[in-house]
Chain A
Amino acid sequence: MAQRKIGDVILEVKNISLRFGGVNALTDISLDVREHEVRAIIGPNGAGKSSMLNCINGVYIPQEGQITFKGKSFSHMNSRQVAEMGVARTFQNLALFKGMSVLDNIMSGRNLRMKTNIFQQAFRNPWWSAAEREEGEHREVVEKIIDFLEIQAYRKTPVGRLPYGLQKRVDLGRALAMEPSVLLLDEPMAGMNVEEKQDMSRFVLDVNDEFGTTIVLIEHDMGVVMDISDRIVVLDYGKKIGDGTPAEVRANPEVIAAYLGTSD
């Protein structure tokens, strides 16, 4: 396969520290993400991986440090603003609407892009209405995502009835519906069997390939991470202990110590 074109730095995190009371969740962490790359964040349990995503995502506001996204710097933002800038995410514990269909769940990801207001939505002219036309356009995007993720057979199935692996796929679909430029994936393969993991890895790479989406993912499965990532950041106890290509990270003694323990 030809090399994907990795661009300039699109997202830069500088000297971030996050504390909950006396606990240092993240200490002075810097990392950068380049356009179109697959960037993994790994580390043992409680290393601060999800906190890191939450900072980028605007859910947590770090006490110190700065985040630069597409050349714009800011020290705190709310999650809506982040979403509007083109950052989408999926969650470690699925946060889907269980009673709604796959179609509606993914459609909810279009929320930010809907322009008609509540009145236009409610009162529709039967011959021509802006809401109707807009819904058609959004539906088209959603259908393309359904096709992309190969979930056509479940279009109208309530999400709660689907197996876990498929729910994860719907979660990814909803994030894609935002047409994000950066996609944050929080353990997209947790709790999956080997086959589901392979499927999901393929989808992640396909998203990256097909839409050019930059991907930041947290993952526990080392095999998966080493296979699909361009560069990896390693966290341990809220500190960065390694950063580089899979080969570099694999050879890093500190990383080995954090994962396997040391003899002394």
Chain B
Amino acid sequence: MQTTFPRLMLDHAKQRPQAAALREKVYGIWQTTSWRELALQVQHLAAGLAEAGLQRGEHVVVVGDNRPRLYAAMLAAQSLGAVPVPLYQDAAATEYEFPINNAEVRFAIVEDQEQVDKMLELRERCPLLSRIWFDQERGLRNYDEPGLTSLDALTQSGKNFISQHAGWFEQQVAQGRPDEVAAMFFTSGTTGNPKGVVHTHFSLLDRAAAGKKFDKLTADEEVLAYLPLAWIGQNIFSYAQWLTCGYVVNCPENGSTVTIDLKEIGPTYYFAPPRVFEDLLTAVMIRMEDAGSLKRGLFKHFMAVAKEVGPKLLDGQVVGWLDKLRYRLGDLLIYGPLRNTLGFSRVRVAYTAGEAIGPDLFTFYRSIGINLKQLYGSTETAVFVCLQPDHEVRADTVGVPIDGVELKVSDSGEIMVRSPGLLQGYYKNPEATAEVLTADGWYHTGDAGFLDGSGHLKIIDRAKDVGKLFGGANDGAMFAPKYVENKLKFFPYIKEAVAFGNRRDKVCAFINIDFEAVGNWAERQNLSYAGYTDLAAKKEVLSLVRDCVQQVNGDLAHDPMLAGSQVHRFIVLHKELDADDGELTRTRKVRRGTIGDKYQVLVDAMYAGKHEQFIETAVKFEDGRSGSVSATLPVADAETFAAVATLKKAA
């Protein structure tokens, strides 16, 4: 697609000036910005930024929640040929230091006081950072800092400039070329400094268009923008595809109102990581447990029907008339109202990606008639690599390569991709770029997997994490930690799992319980507890977790490749793994290495055959203070099963 982001915006403003581009809930009412209004706003911001001295090719940091004005600011920067660099809004100030210095950022556009404070805190260590603009003035009235101004003031000065220079903006936009850099995304990275992934207008827009074609998206879609701007998924779904398709992007009132806003908007095109779907389902299940017996009975009965019939209907298979009738009745009584409660009444296409989704969870949504599908991609590939076509959706694969994508599996089992959506490189990091991009344009995804018989891609684990067991009964067997962890995490009671086993004689694991689910379970068991640590230490909880682990072992025993990865021993951790403590990435992926080092004594205890171990851990509280928690944790054994030599696939 030979165009740029700002050109697309101007096209929409010309062709359908009155159509809604963005909506934002302010003071309890949804306020609409039309394409024409948006174009004006962008024009004024761009003029203001140009006056402030923004150069072509320069980086501008954007930090905040999904706010229309931040979207406009990104477009304004792109109009001038500058590069917006969105950063995670919930990160601590120190985490911004590297990106800001690395990208030589002089200008920052942020949402509110919280972000302004972080930027001011960084000034000493980021000497180049000279101008900061904020969207919301609240609490900032008495700030007297050089270079700190409101976006209102920026817009105003731009407005004055535009009134004297008609045609200036269009000329700026016309100067932009599709092969210029459009945006840079810093990948959180499980190790080392983050890397800036450089994308051009072409790479992002080409993939956005490929996705549009694949799912036949139109300008009538409604999308709720609630994921971090800094994440490329959010950028594709509510920025690149927004401009490509011209649909409406809705910004929620704030983070805590997302579920309410979701219901009010009723999106038709929806994207969420598995975690969000899981949380929604947990909330529904907890409410069902508290419902009256009639409702519970109906729910149970019709969910069984849905599980049997729903996926078949969505996959377009033939279903008997009696089943159809039962499903129709269920739809009337249960599924319809449930979809409405979840805010999914109008969803035509929903995607999940980022990590593996549990088969039960996945089937649940499909069985109640939500067309939930999986996709495969990453920041480096501008998301869209593989998508699941309607009617060919399965829980354990991630779909077929779409338009423009070439895919092969290297000799070492790693998936390689060639596509127009590939990154240009890592910013100022040729070594890292050379590591992932080959001379003839193939990208190393770092994922181990294979294409199955029907051409669908199946992912096993990160290629570098796939290890081997040493010594013991399963010497030399393959060990895929993520695969084991995911299987464990598919249980609602287990929030996070960390498996160890590479170069060891057996697999052991840390388990993090899901406080909400286990807490609720404990209540129903009349089990009292004082808090997370206390609950996690209950022996009833230990045996609950043991049941889960043993079920996973049973499953793994059926998989000839991974039968050796059964979990022999485990520990239920006393604290939740947390991104603030560096144990998870900002996108909530476990940092296995960090955790292994931090809890070294526990790992050793599991392999040394001890039955309990004392540990003291430093924790960081939300207000920035730090403290420590200590506990003596039991090391539990789990039953393992002999490998079953059968062709039946693990569930």
Contact = CB atoms under 8 A, between A and B. Distances in A.
A147 interface: yes
Contacts of B139: 206, 209-210
Contact of B622 (A2, A143, A147, A195): A195
Interface in B17-33: 25-29
A140 B622 contact: no
Nearest to A155: B28
Interface string A135-152: 000001001101110101
Given A144-B27, A146-B28, A153 B623 contact: no
B143 A1 contact: yes
A153 B256 contact: yes
B526 interface: no
Ranked 7 nearest A-B pairs via Cβ = A143-B27, A153-B256, A2-B142, A153-B257, A152-B253, A143-B28, A2-B144
Interface size class of A (residues with CB under 8 A): 10 to 19
Q: Is the interface of A mostly helix, strand, loop or mixed?
A: helix
Contact of B256 (A148, A152, A198): A152
A152 B254 contact: yes
A142 B254 CA distance: 17
Given A144-B27, A146-B27, A155-B28, 6 more contacts: A1-B143, A4-B142, A143-B27, A152-B25, A206-B139, A209-B139
Given A140-B27, A144-B27, A155-B28, A150 B142 contact: no
Interface string B423-465: 0000000000000000000000000000000000000000000
A194 interface: yes
Nearest to A151: B256
Contacts of B26: 147
Interface in A181-207: 194-195, 198, 206
A177 to B, nearest CB: 14
A143 B25 CA distance: 11
B141 interface: yes
B138 interface: yes
Nearest to A146: B28
Given A152-B253, A153-B256, A206-B139, A194 B623 contact: yes
B254 A210 contact: no
B260 interface: yes
A144 B143 CA distance: 22
Contacts of A209: 139, 141-142
Interface size class of B (residues with CB under 8 A): 10 to 19
B623 A147 contact: no
6 contacts: A150-B254, A153-B260, A194-B623, A195-B622, A195-B623, A210-B139
Contacts of B142: 1-2, 4, 209
Interface of B: 25-29, 138-139, 141-144, 253-254, 256-257, 260, 622-623
A30 B279 CA distance: 56
B62 to A, nearest CB: 22
A4 B139 CA distance: 12
Contacts of B256: 150, 152-153
A147 B138 CA distance: 11
Contacts of B144: 1-2
A133 to B, nearest CB: 16
Contacts of B253: 152-153
Contacts of B143: 1-2
A209 B256 CA distance: 25
B163 to A, nearest CB: 31
Contacts of A153: 253-254, 256-257, 260
B141 A210 contact: yes
B123 to A, nearest CB: 16
A139 B25 CA distance: 15
A147 B260 contact: no
A105 B75 CA distance: 41
A125 to B, nearest CB: 23
Contacts of A155: 28
Nearest to A206: B139
A5 to B, nearest CB: 10
B79 to A, nearest CB: 31
Contacts of B623: 194-195, 198
A147 B141 contact: no
B257 A147 contact: no
B423 to A, nearest CB: 37
Nearest to A145: B27
A170 B282 CA distance: 29
A44 B631 CA distance: 38
Nearest to A143: B27
A195 B623 CA distance: 8
A7 to B, nearest CB: 16
Contacts of A152: 25, 28, 253-254, 256-257
Nearest to A194: B623
B125 to A, nearest CB: 21
B513 to A, nearest CB: 23
Nearest to A150: B254
Contacts of B622: 195
Nearest to B139: A206
A255 B141 CA distance: 36
